[in-house]
A = this chain, B = another copy of it.
Amino acid sequence: MKIKVGIVGATGYAGAELVRLITTHPQAEVTAISSVSFLGQKLSDVYPSYKYLNDMVCEEQSDVVEKSDIVFAALPHGLSQELGAECIKKGKAFIDLGADFRLESEDEYEQWYQGKFLDKDLHKEAVYGLPEFFRDKIKGKKLVANPGCYTTCSPLAIAPAIVNKLVETKGIICDCKSGVTGAGRKPTQGNHFPELNEGFHAYKVASHRHTPEIEQTLSKLSGEDVTITFVPHLLPVNRGILATVYADVKEGVTYEQIRNAYEEYYKDEYFVRLLDEGKCADIHNVRYSNFCDISIHFDKRANKLIACGAIDNMVKGAAGQAIQNMNIIFGLDEKTGLEIIPPAF
């Protein structure tokens, strides 16, 4: 019998991507979807590409909870805490694609999101769903905070060097570039085609909310308090994030040591592809898939490690990773439903 999946916020980009991926998942099925803006309407009216393939009608949030074994929430920040509590109370698994459960420190949550933890105990039950780092903690859990897009890509790119103490944890820079779907479905002046097309710029420089989340992950991995500089940029493409991460290589450490560390660290990770020396990670090669391509480069003149990580922000950076987490929770092979070959063009 298939896992019954409910998707709250199904008409946003992350929600719609979840629907698409779950629909072809061999051991799960979408049983109900909700949307505040499109209540009573068909998802395929919002996204005509789904016509005949998913013509489900958006219901109330409460109906979605009722009908599901697991609820995915793809909601604006701040709207998941109550829903999560309700799901847990009713024995449903809950995966939040928003930020409400990602930060362990309420202080940081307040500082970056201007919100409070409604139920501190519930937050303690939440696990941060980046399987390549925290797989063992996810197993058997019911409440997963699915990481953001930048916060998946940046730590994956630099983790092996940090875990193995090959680079300094001070002064790390994450210069990230994201496709536009990361900004969501709502039209804005900045994402109006003629104003974004043929443009490129940074935004929320050193003030983006993914900063503390990346730091939390890197701090856990390193056992040290890590503060990073995070600068996101907006790419005129639909999908993909490239994180170019810079770290100071510790004295005496060689490229070979670093390369070995990466190979060892990711040797069993299906979704991480470490590229051969001389290659550069490209968002083009991971589109529509759950892969994270990583290339590492050594600037011997300045003694810097430069690690590039590329993901599809809507898959490994959102819906795909959420399904990976679901697979872990339900004891399935992590790859189930996610063995997608990225198109070559």
Contacts and interface: CB of A to CB of B under 8 A. Distances in A.
Nearest to A196: B193
A51 B229 CA distance: 29
Contacts of A200: 177, 235, 237, 240, 242, 282-284
A190 to B, nearest CB: 9
A201 B308 contact: yes
A28 to B, nearest CB: 14
Copies of this chain, complex-wide, total: 4
Interface in A50-68: 50-54
A20 interface: yes
B282 A201 contact: yes
A298 B187 contact: no
Nearest to A24: B341
B52 A273 contact: yes
Interface stretch (A73-81, A91-99, A202-210, A323-331): A202-210
A144 interface: no
B206 A194 contact: no
Nearest to A182: B194
A192 B195 contact: no
Interface of A: 13, 16-17, 20, 23-24, 47-54, 171, 173, 175, 177, 179-181, 185-189, 191-203, 205-206, 211, 227-229, 231, 233, 235-240, 242, 244, 246, 248, 273, 275, 279-289, 293, 295, 297-302, 304, 306, 308, 310, 314, 339-345
Nearest to A345: B194
A333 to B, nearest CB: 16
A285 B54 CA distance: 13
A205 B280 contact: yes
Nearest to A45: B276
A196 B235 CA distance: 13
A1 to B, nearest CB: 21
